[in-house]
Amino acid sequence: MAGLETPTAGTVTMDPPVKGDAGGIAFVFQQPSLLPWRTALQNVVLPLDLIGKGSPVSRREIASDLLETVGLKEAATHFPSQLSGGMKMRVSIARALVTDPHVLLLDEPFAALDDMLRNQLGQLLLEIWERRRLTVVMVTHNIAESVLLSQRIAVMREGALASVLENPLPRPRTEDIRTTVEFGDFYGQVSHALRGE
């Protein structure tokens, strides 16, 4: 979907279609993938530098705002080696958002983090989604995470699409929703679909 690979079969349709110029689609990798010689702020600025959008000053302003959004205003001048795993992931998310993309792709972004951080960053993602209303496609192996965050879940099994489930849970969702009956029911459904029952 990011255009990094050529599909072996089928097509990718986006509605509304994403414009051809770079920055419409953003990607968050499993690893933070920050450049170690750039500070947190400079890492967030990078996509704008690469696209060549705006003046250097305006780029820094946009990046600075985004660092504030992800709660890292104080760490702007820190280098990645001075940041914790969770903070690096936040910088990585801020970097993905800096081009104001229509589509945000996340490939198991929190897989390497512990549960506490995973939940924190999940909530952060929900906040960003509610404020910006962009399309987010997230790949995860964690059922609870998918149930908590999603609108719709596409279950993949053996490399093929198995089923698509609409998420009935109301919004806004907080951590408390994990203890409700609805959460448990839908968790069961996804779990069944994953096992092919």
Partner 1 sequence: MTAVSSPRQREILMSVTLVATVACIVLAAWEFVVWKFDFPKALLPTPRQCWNAAVLERLALFRATLSTGFAAFSGLLVAVVVGYGLAAVFSQSRSLRLALFPYVILLQTVPIVAIAPLLIVWSGYTFRTVLIVTAIVCLFPIVNSVTGGLLSTQQDTNDLFRLYGAGRWKRLLHLQIPSSVNHLMLGVKTSSGLAVIGAIVAEFFVGNSTSYDGLGTLMTGWANLLKTDALVSAVFASAMLGILLFGTVHLISNVFLRRWTQFATTTS
Tell me whether residue 84 or residue 191 sits nearer to partner 1 (CB atom).
84
Tell me whether residue 26 or residue 143 sits nearer to partner 1 (CB atom).
26
Binding site for partner 1 (CB under 8 A): 2-4, 21-23, 25-27, 29-37, 46-47, 49-51, 79-81, 88, 99
Tell me whether residue 34 or residue 93 sits nearer to partner 1 (CB atom).
34
The torsion angles phi and psi of 27, rounded to 5 degrees, stand at: -135, 130
What minimum distance in Å lies between the beta carbon of 48 and partner 1?
9
Looking only at the bridges linking them, the beta strands covering 103-107 and 160-166 are unpaired
What minimum distance in Å lies between the beta carbon of 38 and partner 1?
8
Whole-angstrom distance, CA of residue 63 vs CA of residue 85: 20
List the alpha helices (DSSP H) in the chain.
40-51, 56-69, 85-97, 115-132, 143-149, 181-195
Tell me whether residue 52 or residue 172 sits nearer to partner 1 (CB atom).
52
> What tokens does 24 get?
């419409």
Tell me whether residue 26 or residue 165 sits nearer to partner 1 (CB atom).
26
Q: Does residue 109 have a cis bond before it (omega within 30 degrees)?
A: no
Whole-angstrom distance, CA of residue 28 vs CA of residue 94: 10
What minimum distance in Å lies between the beta carbon of 70 and partner 1?
17
Per DSSP, the three-state class of 196 is coil
Looking only at the bridges linking them, the beta strands covering 160-166 and 152-157 are antiparallel
Tell me whether residue 35 or residue 161 sits nearer to partner 1 (CB atom).
35
What minimum distance in Å lies between the beta carbon of 117 and partner 1?
15
What minimum distance in Å lies between the beta carbon of 7 and partner 1?
16
Q: How many CB atoms lie within 10 A of CB 142?
A: 15
What minimum distance in Å lies between the beta carbon of 104 and partner 1?
12
